[in-house]
Each structure stands twice: as C-alpha cells, then as structure tokens.
Amino acid sequence: MLTTSDPVAVANRLRPLLLQLNRHLRQELTGLGITAGQAALMHTIRTHPGIGLRDLARLEGVSAPAMSGYVDRLENAGLVSRQRPATGDRRRVGLIVSPDGQRVLRSARSRRTAWLAQRLRRLSPEQIVAVDGALEPLQALLADGEPA
C-alpha cells in the first residue's frame, strides 16, 4: 500500500473516501423521513438544550432567518419544540428535541452504527486496529477551528 506524509496527497486520497462514506451514512436516514442536515441540526439542539435560534444559526454557520425556516420544518414534523424559559427574558425561546425527535435520533444512530459495523466486520483484525488508530488524528482535524 502506498503511503505518504505529503498532506496534499493524503487529502486527495482521503476526500473522496469521506464523501463516499458520508453519502452511505446519509442513505441510512432514508426510511426515517429526515435529511442528514436535519439529523445534524437535531443533534446540535439535543447537545445544547434550550439553545436560542440565533445561537443555533451562529453554531451552524447560517443566517437566523434561514435557521428559522429549518427549525419551523422540524417543529411542524413534531421533532423539535420551542420553549420559553421559566425565568429571564420572556421573549427568548429555547429549542429542545421532542420525544419523537429523540426516537428518530436514536434510530438514525443505530442504523448508521449498524451500517459501519457491518462493513468493519469485513476487515481483518489488523485493518480494524488501523482504522481505530486513525480516529484520533481525524478527530484532531475537526477540532481545529470548528465549533464543538
């Protein structure tokens, strides 16, 4: 197997693999009636319960009006809800993932994990160890300048 320490060469080999992996993982959501973007947005809301629309838009890198439309669709589907805080600014509305949304997120995670595990089972033990060893450096790629 050809290996190199040249970042551009590695990026050229890694990029199409990540795109293909992402495409397969998106397909696992088909039966759940949500898109990958909606799943990601719901995950962010679940990670930051009570987050406001503006803060969510900033985290996701979109405008507040665009985010409002995305959240409206999730709310209309019964997957997220808006809640007013018990105290403080009564105009502020926080977002939470609804029980149905929680169920959909669990199903999405389960389907995606099953898909990955099925493919990992095709690899040799040495290859699985190599994939596992690559996870920490890949995580470090995401940590540089990205919102948590």
Report the predicted TM-score, pTM, of the whole model to 2 decimal places.
0.80
Q: What is the pLDDT of residue 145?
A: 57
The one-letter code for the residue type at 147 is P
What is the distance of C-alpha 48 from the center of its chain?
Answer: 13
In sign, the C-alpha dihedral spanning 118, 124, 130, 133 is positive
Q: Name beta bridge partners: 97.
A: 80
- Phi/psi for 115 (5° steps) reads -60, -45
pLDDT higher at 129 or 92? 129
pLDDT digits (tens, 9 = 90+) for 74-107: 999 999 999 876 566 666 789 999 999 999 999 9
| Domain 32-143 falls under CATH 1.10.10.10 | yes
Domain edges within the chain: 32-143
In this predicted structure, the answer to whether residue 148 has a pLDDT above a threshold of 50 is: no
In this predicted model, what pLDDT tens digit does every residue of 20-76 receive, in sequence order?
A: 999 999 999 988 999 999 999 999 999 999 999 999 999 999 999 999 999 999 999
